[in-house]
Amino acid sequence: MPELPEVEVSRLGLEPHLTGKTLRALVLRRADLRQPVPARTLERLPGHALAQIRRRGKYLLWHWPTAGGWLILHLGMSGSLRLVSPDAPPGKHDHLDLVFPETTLRFRDPRRFGLALWQAGDTPEMHPLLARLGVEPLSDAFSAAWLIQECAGKTTAIKSLLMDAHRLVGVGNIYAAESLFRAGIRPDRPAGAISAQRLTALAEAVRATLQAAIAAGGSSVRDYVHSDGGAGSFQLQCAVYGRAGQPCMTCGTTIRLIRQNGRASFYCPRCQR
Ligand SMILES: [Zn+2]
């Protein structure tokens, strides 16, 4: 499933090729994604120029000022965005094409949990799906002070708190596990029982982990142009995630697997307290 770093790398890869370009045509092959695609509205887009691509959580927000709004794309479980040559034949799961003068943006989504929606006006963050999202972990709003305040008095396990999208967006299972390892904190530690000093280290670890993943994906940015590549999962070097039963890279202790809210949590019982 594409996570925040993959979505951000999609944005970084696509933006230089598409911003300022006028849409020539829009081809919608299937409108029954997770929610119905507003075909009538999107059909008005050709002839309008794309001003920018923003990201909020795992949503990509495409601004068409002269058309009066924003196209909101979400990649769901299996979606990807690629730039293809305008004459490239579509595959079975290629549901939406945005045809620009020199390239075509193609949205592929085999499981169709993705979204293509429209929000009129200047603030796409008002859309009901986006309005209640938590803070962005790579923004100034996310800080040690913020994390300390969020954790104060909470009995919730710290990993569950990190993954609560109403508080903080984009920290999925892999990134939560890796951030907690970096900070030396057990995933099941009650949030309110962790010292301010350790939460400060955790805030830095979350940021560093996401930035490392984005940097790891940077090498795939070139794949957005005329190829079959695109945003898959990055080969992030995981220290604990997916490594149950293997030795910790730091101390050699066997990595443990526990279940929290039905999700797998990996940690080193010696490095993480
Ligand atoms: Zn260890």
The first and second tokens of residue 224, run together, are 């957005």
CATH at residue 116:
3.20.190.10
pLDDT in tens, 35-80: 999 999 999 999 999 999 999 999 999 999 999 999 999 999 888 8
- Cβ 45 vs Cβ 71: under 8 Å: yes
- Is 2 marked active-site? yes
Q: 201 with 227, same domain?
A: yes
Residue with tokens 């900070």: 183
- Is 159 marked active-site? no
Percent of the chain predicted with pLDDT > 90 = 82
The first and second tokens of residue 119, run together, are 């929000």
Q: What is the pLDDT of residue 5?
A: 87
Domain count, the chain: 2
User: For residue 201, how far is the Cα from the chain centroid?
Assistant: 23
Rounded to the nearest whole angstrom, what is the distance from the C-alpha of residue 255 to the centroid of ligand 1? Answer: 8
Catalytic residue, chosen from 58, 106, 108, 182, is: 58
CATH at residue 180:
1.10.8.50
Catalytic residue, chosen from 3, 15, 150, 178, is: 3
pLDDT in tens, 88-98: 999 999 999 99
Q: What is the pLDDT of residue 59?
A: 96
Q: Give the predicted TM-score (pTM) of the model.
A: 0.89
Q: 178 with 63, same domain?
A: no
* Domain limits for position 209: 144-267
Nearest residue to 71 via CA among 99, 93, 42, 49:
42
CA distance 121 to 137: 26
Confidence of residue 6 (pLDDT cuts 50, 70, 90): confident
CA distance 176 to 170: 10
Rounded to the nearest whole angstrom, what is the distance from the C-alpha of residue 242 to the centroid of ligand 1? Answer: 15
Q: For the chain, list the strands marked E by DSSP.
A: 25-28, 52-56, 59-64, 69-74, 80-84, 94-99, 104-108, 115-120, 256-260, 263-267
Rounded to the nearest whole angstrom, what is the distance from the C-alpha of residue 87 to the centroid of ligand 1? Answer: 52
Rounded to the nearest whole angstrom, what is the distance from the C-alpha of residue 254 to the centroid of ligand 1? Answer: 8
